Amino acid sequence: MNPTYKPSKLKRARACGFRNRMKTRSGREIINARRQKGRAKLVTK
């Protein structure tokens, strides 16, 4: 069997990156919610 999780920094950045979040309204809401909560990291690295 193949491993189910094959990490790729590029794919992750494109899906969950800061610039991708800022593209859509819902993405900006996510960023703002994390700011409000006081997260040290707004997006995954």
- Domain for residue 1, yes or no? no
> Whole-model pTM?
0.80
SS3 11: helix
Neighbours of 21 (CB within 10 A): 19
**Which pLDDT score, from 0 to 100, does residue 45 have?**
81
Tell me how many domains the chain contains: 1
Q: Is residue 15 part of a domain?
A: yes
Distance CA 36, CA 23 (A): 19
CA distance 33 to 20: 16
Q: Which CATH number does the domain housing residue 18 bear?
A: 1.10.287.3980
- Write out the residue range of the structural domain in which residue 24 sits: 8-45
* Per-residue model confidence as pLDDT tens for the chain (45 residues): 999 999 999 999 999 999 999 999 999 999 999 999 999 999 988
In a domain, 23, yes or no: yes
In a 13 Å sphere around the CA of 31, the CA atoms on its Cβ side amount to 14
